[in-house]
Structure formats: structure tokens, C-alpha cells
Amino acid sequence: MRTDVIMTALSVWFVLGLFLDAYYHANFTDQETFFTPWHAVFYSGFAATGGWVLWTVWGHVRLGRRGLAAVPVGYGMTMIALPVFAVSGAADLAWHELLGIETTTDIFFSPSHLGLITAMIVILTSPLRSAWGDPELPAQPPLRQLLPAVVTLAFAASLVMLFLTYGNSLVYDAYDVVGSFSDLYYGDADVLAARMVITTVVLLAPLLLLARRWSLPRGAATLTYATVALVSSMLTGFDNPEILLAAVAAGFVIDVLAAWLRPSAQRRGAYWAFGLTAPFVTSVLYIGAASYAAGLPAVTEIWTGAPIVMALVGWALAALMLPNSITSGPIRGGPMSSKPIAERADVHS
């Protein structure tokens, strides 16, 4: 647990650097150098995070463990992601020196950036993989016990949403939402609808993943939604407060919904119902907040049907993630873990 808590604290530093970089790229487009203060925060955060993982492994080696036995539970993939991140960072420097600095949507398609973000997500979610394979965690843990896993999973979701900014509905302000759903010919109703589908999947998937392994801890949805919404609002310079508040409110309502439905791997019906209703609630609050600030959209079919579409998307996602109930008790050594429980119990830290 100590390893995961420190890893999570260092991840805040690591992620903050990238969020600062994203903020300045989105709001100040005159960035012409790789060597910026926010890059310094970003890469120093990586160095601190990677240093902690290697120090932990070295501590196990000094205790006589060798090979995979020296790697903490859930950190096997991290040992691969660390050098991948370092190589991608060097490639990013070379890329910028040769081709310049990206300032618009091309940021999210740069091969070096994609290498960085993929490795970063693997590194950040080490506490999640560690908790997933921990046989001592109860089936219904409080948020306190799962906090490193939930926080780093929320960071990972926010990073995915950051690199899918071109499909992020949370970057719209209230007037953009209402305008898009008021004009079928000159608006971008289809674009916003597609963005809502992508955002629904990114917000819901982490909660469904947690609910497959444990009873969803209270506060997990609020924390996840607030983190993703905060990063999205940061990209707009925080000029869409109604959407930000709607996302946080949706997280709170979904936490209440989860406490009532109790979705889990053993309760497929509740799991599917949660996947159906959580996006519906989110979409209703999203469109409702926009309508409160900017008026009701003119095209009734779209603003009334969009929440239903999102609900069906969420239901389909839940069915894909849990097609059959799991009745053999709590999941142990599941797909996120790297070793059988018998081999891993003695190296957990």
C-alpha cells in the first residue's frame, strides 16, 4: 500500500506537468521551443515517478528477490513503460527540433506524443493493477482503501479525454451546446452528438471497470467526473463553468445511483442498469445546464433523444464488459494482474 500511495502522490506531479503543457498550448499558441517551464515540471515528474519505481525494485533486490519477484504487484508493465516513455521523450525533442512545435489538433496525432501518452497511462495505472491483484482487499472496500487506484484511474481517463479533445463534448460552452442543437443545417449537431458518444465512453468505462472488480466505492464517480471535467475546462480557459458544474453534479448523482443499484460482476442486471442510467443522467444534466444558461435548443428531437442515445451506448458498453455474471466470488488475479496470487502475495508492498 505504501508503494501505491507514494506512486499516486508522484503521479500528481507527473500529470500536473502535462496538464500545464496542455493549458499553455491551448491558450497561448506562440510556443516555439521544447524547453519550457511546464515541460520541466512534466519530465521532472516522470524522473521522480520512475525513480521511485526503480528504488522500490532495488529494495526488493537487496532483500534477495530476483527477476520478476523483485517487481511489486502490478508494476510489471510499468517496467516496460518507463523506457518507452524515455525513448518517446527523446524522440519528441528531436521531432520538435526538426519539424517545429504543434499548436492545434496535430498535437494529438504526433507519433512521439502518442508514445508518451501511452507509456504515461501504463505508468499512472500501476496502483490500479496493484489493487486489482491484492487478495487482502475486501469485495466492498471504502474509497479510502482504493483511493490510489481510483485517483490514478481518473488521471488516466482525463489523459485519454485530453488526447481525444477533438471528440470531447465537455469543451463546449452552454451557448455552443444550444446553438449546435438548434440548427440542423448550419450548426454542428452531428459533431456534438458524436462528441457526446465519445465522452460517454471515456467517462463510463473507468466506473464499469472498477465495478467489475469491487462494489463501486462511494465518491469514485464524483472524483472521476470532476477530474476529467476540470482538465477539459482548463483547455477552454475555464470559460464553460456551467458544463464543468454539470459534470461534477452528474458524478455525484451517479455515486448515489451506484449505491442504490450496487452494480458488480455478480449482479449483471444491476451492472447493465448502471451502464444504461449513468450516461442518461450525465446527458440530461449536460443539456439541462446548457439550456438553463442559454435557453432550450430549438430542435426538440435532438435534445430529447440525445440522452436516450447515450444511455444505449452505455448499456452496450456494460454488456461488452460483462456479458455474463461472474459467480465464483471476488475476482482474483484478473486480467490486470501480472502473476498468480500464490506467487505475488509475498512481494506486495
Q: What single-letter DSSP state applies at residue 187?
A: S
pLDDT mean over 185-190: 82
Domain ranges of the chain: 1-135, 143-331
**Residue 250: which residues within 8 A CB-CB, separation 6 or more?**
225, 281, 282, 285, 286
| Average pLDDT estimate for 70-96 | 86
Please state, for a pLDDT cut of 90, what percent of the chain lies above it: 51
* Band of residue 113 on the pLDDT scale cut at 50, 70, 90: confident
Over the stretch 20-40, which tens digit does the pLDDT of each residue have? 776 766 666 555 555 667 677
Is the pLDDT confidence value at 249 over 50? yes
Supply the mean pLDDT for the chain. Answer: 85
How many other β-carbons are positioned within 10 Å of the β-carbon of residue 97?
11
Confidence (pTM): 0.85
Distance from the Cα of residue 313 to its chain's centroid: 18
Distance CA 119, CA 231 (A): 19
- Does 327 score more than 80 pLDDT? no
State mean pLDDT over 2-28.
78
Average pLDDT rounded to a whole number, residues 306-311: 97
3-state SS, residue 270: helix
- Report residue 67 as a C-alpha cell: 527477476
The answer, yes or no, to whether residue 262 has pLDDT greater than 80, is yes
The confidence score (pLDDT) of residue 331 equals 45
Alpha-carbon distance of 295 to 303, in angstroms, equals 12
